[in-house]
Structure 1
Amino acid sequence: MHASNKNTHRKTLLLVVLVCLAPVIASYLSYYVFKPAGGVVNYGKLIEPAQPIPPSLVVQTENGDVTPLQTLKGKWLLLAVDASACPENCVKKLYFMRQVRVAQGIERERVETVWLRTDSAPVSPVVQQAYPEMRFLSANAMALAKWLPVEGSMQLTDYIYLVDPNGNLIMRFPPNPNPGKIKKDLSKLLKWSSIG
């Protein structure tokens, strides 16, 4: 065999080996060297670990009945916290929560919207008429602050929270949220979970 043919065969073999190894090398570099941030497919921030409803957290209904918040276990809960006066930000959250629930179609019966008020003032009749399916409950602000996480200088009143049917706080949606993205997150959870 001529030396030139031998070199050609070696080059061809080397080229075949490189072509076969290229995907392995590329995946190694992309995972270990470039460190992609991927993996986040949800809009809301996951609460890790999930925070169960504290057994000591009690709420008062509009009728004046006092009951543990845990009695709401069994459904997916969209929660908002605010004062009964309900400023503009509060009105938006209540509206978004209602729309997200309605957008679930036949699955909406698995979802309950809850407004946790930090005072015992009565709910405006206008709000009651606008949101007949919503639960209006009063709770101690300090007790809620121990359970519901916030970031930095944010407040409880900035967020919408999601509690699973087992009574675990699992997700927090950002201030001034995009209701379409909340709907998408909730739809996925309802689709893949048989509970609630």
Structure 2
Amino acid sequence: MSVHSLPDPGAMAAQQRTRAGRLSMLLVVLACAAPVIASYFSFYVLKLSGKPYGDLIEPTVELPAALALRDLAGRPVAAESLKGQWLLTLVQDSNCAKACEDRLYMQRQLREMLGKERDKVDKLLLIPDDAPLRPELQQALAAGVPVTVLRAPREQLQAWLKPAQGQVLQDHFYLIDPMGRWMLRSPVDPVPGKLKNDLNRVLKANASWDKPGR
């Protein structure tokens, strides 16, 4: 008769702990990703509110890891730091004439129009030049919930965010998701209420996901 060794209880327990740990980690990842996945499903597949007002970006475009961001003091800022929030984004030159000021005002109003969902959205201004901002503009950007203002090389922004045919980067709002993916572009001179409906559609599936503004 052959004698077989009995299973090692310690080894079996270790294997069970490993499996349980992996399962727990998988559940955590799914829990974190589920709201964003649900919003994409609602926006792209179910299209709960009909045709979107803005242009859906399909496939979405990843935030470039090598995007050379700097704050207004010239300090480098990691592109990864932009992840974790929906970003209502503008690209505007530092001279910021009246059209630019109007867009910044609309950016602020759009966020406020989202009501209780507004804390899921950050306002981002990307500046593709090195000229100084007017002191009064800096003061306006810092009022209320501040705008995140960063500089980036124009050519890098043009390689990432694309305007509609015949337009320039400054003509649009760009919506970036919490994973750093560009997913929506507004029309030129958008109607605030219609653009707000698009924002609501991507946020409505995120009721369980809420992170304070940056």
| Fold similarity call, TM over 0.5 | yes
Q: Would you say the 8 A contact 1:123–1:136 is kept in 2?
A: no
Aligned length: 158
Task: Please provide the CA RMSD for this pair.
Answer: 1.6
Q: How far does the alpha carbon of each residue in 1:78-98 deviate from its partner, in whole angstroms, 9 at most, with x for none? A: 111111001222112111111
Shift of 1:169: 0.1
Partner in structure 1 of residue 201 of structure 2 = 188
Report the AA paired with residue 126 of structure 2.
Answer: L
Partner of 2:81: 71
Which residue number in structure 2 is paired with residue 50 of structure 1? 60
SS of the residue 2:195 aligns to: helix
Please give the per-residue CA displacement for 1:37-72, whole angstroms capped at 9, x wherever unaligned.
Answer: xx9521110001000101111211012211232311
- The alpha-carbon distance between structure 1 residues 64 and 51, as it changes in their structure 2 partners (threshold 3 A), is same
CA distance in structure 1 between the aligned counterparts of 2:169 and 2:50, rounded to whole angstroms? 24
Larger radius of gyration: 1
Aligned partners of 1:181, 1:68: CA distance in 2, in Å? Answer: 33
**Aligned ranges for residues 15-54 of structure 1 at < 5 Å?**
40-54=50-64
Query: Where in structure 1 do 4 or more consecutive aligned residues deviate above 4 Å?
Result: none
d(CA) in 2 for partners of 1:115, 1:195: 24
Question: 1:129 Cα deviation (Å)?
Answer: 2.3
Structure 2 residues not aligned, in runs of 5+: 1-48
Write the distance in 2 (CA, Å) between the matches of 1:153 and 1:63.
34
With the length of structure 1 as denominator, give the TM-score of the two structures: 0.75
- What percent identity do the matched residue pairs reach? 38
Superposition TM-score, scaled by structure 2 size: 0.69
User: CA distance change for structure 1 residues 88 and 154 in 2, over 3 Å: closer, same or farther?
Assistant: same
Alignment match of 1:164 (pick from 177, 180, 191): 177
Residue 178 of structure 1, aligned match among 166, 169, 191: 191
Shift of 1:130: 2.1
Code of the aligned partner of 2:157: L
Pick the structure with more strand per residue.
1
Partner of 2:151: 138
